[in-house]
């Protein structure tokens, strides 16, 4: 089994590109809605409750918060161990760091390009779009730094960086597929594929895939 993780900046179109990569490769696709749906089966809080705002001191020592992050990581690891899968967001690149059968991608574009796209796609003012872009980046950087001790925005953290201002979405999809195949064909080192996983969690994931719902939204 192999996994492609896709991190993306708002307005880069990374979400739709990630889903198309999964479709063209015939792989499973898991985004934040999928992961949240899985962990909610265990009575854990939705990640947005602390993902979208700075954690308080209480949050950092809250058992439920710690369990939510733990089960999010277990879910991401189970996906990578048991499926050929594209994982969108949720710190996947950090949670799966160091595995040779995981290919980590960052989809980006210049700030001005992303602001213009957010204006067009959301019908908002320039000021609102600028705020949305900045808040999205700050949120993702803070989350990954807080819970993984890594820099989400550091391009050296990824195997491939795709700039969608320099290519079409079709070209971006093909570049990711070709680069991932090359990596998987030659990668040495530890692999997550085949790792032992929690059987109940695996069954929960299977049930959600079997539901056949397309959960991605952008």
pLDDT in tens, 185-215: 776 789 998 899 999 999 999 999 998 654 4
**CATH number of domain containing 101:** 3.40.50.300
Would residue 7 count as lying in a domain? yes
Q: How far is CA 57 from the centre of its chain?
A: 26
Would residue 214 count as lying in a domain? no
pLDDT, tens only, 28-73: 999 989 998 998 887 665 555 555 555 554 454 456 677 888 889 9
Would residue 81 count as lying in a domain? yes
Give the dihedral sign, CA 80/82/83/87.
negative
Locate 75 and state its tokens: 């879910």
Would residue 212 count as lying in a domain? no
Return phi, psi of residue 38, to 5°: -70, -50
Would residue 217 count as lying in a domain? no
Locate 138 and state its tokens: 């700050």
Q: How many structural domains are present in the chain?
A: 1
CB 205 within 8 A of CB 78: yes
- Domain around 189: 3-207
Would residue 215 count as lying in a domain? no
Strand order across the 160-163 sheet: 28-30, 85-88, 3-8, 102-108, 160-163
Q: What is the pTM of this model?
A: 0.89
Would residue 22 count as lying in a domain? yes
Q: Are strands 85-88 and 102-108 parallel, antiparallel or unpaired?
A: unpaired
Would residue 216 count as lying in a domain? no
pLDDT, tens only, 114-126: 999 999 999 999 9
| Contacts for 141 with CB less than 8 Å, ≥ 6 apart | 151, 152, 153
């Amino acid at each position: 089994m192999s996994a492609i993780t896709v991190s993306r900046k708002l307005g880069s179109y990374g979400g739709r590109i990630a889903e198309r990569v999964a479709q063209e490769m015939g792989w499973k696709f898991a985004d934040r809605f999928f992961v949240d749906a899985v962990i909610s089966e265990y009575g854990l809080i939705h990640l947005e409750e602390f993902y979208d705002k700075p954690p308080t001191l209480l949050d950092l020592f809250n058992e439920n918060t710690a369990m939510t992050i733990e089960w999010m990581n277990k879910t991401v690891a189970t996906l990578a161990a048991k499926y050929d899968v594209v994982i969108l967001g949720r710190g996947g690149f950090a949670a799966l760091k160091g595995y040779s059968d995981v290919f980590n991608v960052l989809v980006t574009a210049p700030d001005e390009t992303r602001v213009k796209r957010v204006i067009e796609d959301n019908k908002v003012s320039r000021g609102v779009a600028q705020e949305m872009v900045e808040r999205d980046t700050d949120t993702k950087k803070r989350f990954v730094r807080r819970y993984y001790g890594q820099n989400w925005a550091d391009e050296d953290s990824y195997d491939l960086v795709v700039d969608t201002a320099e290519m079409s979405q079709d070209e971006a999809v093909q570049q990711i597929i070709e680069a991932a195949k090359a990596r998987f064909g030659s990668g040495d080192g530890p692999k997550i594929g085949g790792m032992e996983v929690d059987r109940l969690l695996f069954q929960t994931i299977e049930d959600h895939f079997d539901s056949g719902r397309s959960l991605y939204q952008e």
